[in-house]
């Protein structure tokens, strides 16, 4: 045991000696708790919350878009109580062991998903892992809707055509797209974001719904039923819903398919060559969840072979890169992971009973509050689990 501790200390010294200087912006230099953020984030309220809680906050100002493991180790340094990271970072054994050696006890992932985090490694070192469920629900769903409409009505193609000076008058067959009204929207993953997207599409375009999820979405079903009854009361055709027993049922029946599953070993390449082949020839596929849910190389081949099939993507398998050939496909709408990039007050689920008072969470000697923020490994670490 003693030798392993010595080895761990030696590794830490080696890492420290190899660390390259990283540019930072410091807030409240005399703060008691050192918190590092690997990226600057929108607004200043989060900065004030931390500095008011006696934190020294160091924000990385490197121009590099994605930090590598060595960069983050240099940011952690010899003492770091907590760190705010991004979904583009690889948080596993190496970084959690480094954070633990620096005295860290908390890591917060600025994302709803945490497939970039090895939670078992965090558990091993007793580090709480936070995420942000709820706060990105509407903004992500809205972006998925935007991708759907852009793909269906060929907005990007038409925009490029116009900017190139090619428009010389109206034609009845110019950029004919897909009408969404009365069609069927399919959802794979009917959690918060998937359900929000479904409600927007059902009510916005009077679409019927088919969804697949391991768990029944009773709330969503009731919503669609109630909206269908309202339409009937107005003398219109009601919308319907169906819970599919398999992913394949959604792919076969839906005119629009939007992907909202978590990314794990069961959903990696959920959409592959075989499943693409059973979709309608003029279907629209949307992904604002995680890139590896789609076999992107197979998708490129499918787009080439089926010019009326369209896709809207906010995420990519090898982000920030696209698979060869994807950028050249006119039937693909691609945006750079901007689902969370919306202004205004984010309306989501609360994760803290009093957002202006963080002392109960930061002071380990105080009695913990009735509800912690969303800590994905709270049960393993013995922390109170939020009921919010």
Whole-number Å distance between alpha carbons of 356 and 319: 35
Hey, what are 153's tokens?
């009505």
CB of 140 closer than 8 Å to CB of 193: yes
Q: How many other CB atoms are there within 10 angstroms of residue 178's CB atom? A: 18
Handedness of CA 64, 65, 68, 74 (dihedral sign): positive
Cα–chain-centroid distance for residue 12? 32
* CB contact at 8 A, 256 and 179: no
CA–CA separation, 29 vs 58, rounded Å? 9
Contacts of 202 (CB under 8 A, 6+ apart): 185, 208, 209, 223, 224, 227, 239
Given a contact cutoff of 8 angstroms between Cβ atoms, the answer to whether 98 and 121 are in contact is no
Catalytic annotation on 243?
A: no
To the query of whether residue 302 is one of the catalytic residues in this protein, the response is: no
Catalytic residue among 260, 275, 290, 302: 290
Nearest to 38 by CA among 81, 75, 74: 75
Phi-psi region of 373 (alpha: psi -120 to 50; beta: other; left: phi over 0): beta
Selected catalytic residue, list 153, 243, 252, 337? 337
Q: 244: which 2 tokens?
A: 């599919």
Q: How far is it, in rounded angstroms, from Cα 291 to Cα 293?
A: 5
Give catalytic status of residue 34 as yes or no.
no
Contact in structure between 388 and 371 (CB atoms under 8 Å): yes
Give the residue numbers marked as catalytic: 290, 319, 337
């Amino acid at each position: 045991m003693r030798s392993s501790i010595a080895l761990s200390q030696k590794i830490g010294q080696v890492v420290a000696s190899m660390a390259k200087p990283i540019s930072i912006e410091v807030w409240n230099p005399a703060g008691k708790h050192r918190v590092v953020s690997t990226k600057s984030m929108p607004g200043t309220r989060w900065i004030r919350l931390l500095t008011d809680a006696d934190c020294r906050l160091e924000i990385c100002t490197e121009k590099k878009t994605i930090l590598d493991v060595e960069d983050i180790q240099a940011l952690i340094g010899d003492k770091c109580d907590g760190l705010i990271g991004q979904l583009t970072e690889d948080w596993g054994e190496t970084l959690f062991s480094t954070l633990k050696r620096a005295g860290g006890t908390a890591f917060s992932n600025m994302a709803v998903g945490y497939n970039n985090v090895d939670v078992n490694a965090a558990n091993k070192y007793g580090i709480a892992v936070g995420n942000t469920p709820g706060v990105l629900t509407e903004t992500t769903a809205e972006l998925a809707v935007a991708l759907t409409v852009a793909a269906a009505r060929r907005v990007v193609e038409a925009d490029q055509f116009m900017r190139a000076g090619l428009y010389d008058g109206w034609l009845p067959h110019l950029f004919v797209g897909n009408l969404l009204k009365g069609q069927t929207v399919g959802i794979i993953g009917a959690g918060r974001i998937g359900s929000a997207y479904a409600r927007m599409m059902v009510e916005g375009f009077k679409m019927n719904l088919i969804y697949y999820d391991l768990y029944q979405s009773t709330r969503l079903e009731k919503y669609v039923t109630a909206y269908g009854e309202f339409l009937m009361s107005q003398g219109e055709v009601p919308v319907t819903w169906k819970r599919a027993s398999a992913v394949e049922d959604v792919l076969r029946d839906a005119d629009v398919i939007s992907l909202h599953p978590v990314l794990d070993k069961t959903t990696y390449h959920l959409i592959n060559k075989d499943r693409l082949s059973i979709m309608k020839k003029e279907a629209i596929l949307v992904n604002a969840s995680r890139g590896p849910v789609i076999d992107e190389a197979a998708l490129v081949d499918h787009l080439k072979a089926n010019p009326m099939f369209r896709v809207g993507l906010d995420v990519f398998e090898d982000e920030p890169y696209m698979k060869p050939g994807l950028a050249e496909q006119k039937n693909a709408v691609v945006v750079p992971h901007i689902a969370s990039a919306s202004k205004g007050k984010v309306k989501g689920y609360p994760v803290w009973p009093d957002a202006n008072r963080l002392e109960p969470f930061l002071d380990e000697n105080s009695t913990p509050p009735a509800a912690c923020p969303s800590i994905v490994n709270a049960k393993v670490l013995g922390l109170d689990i939020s009921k919010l």
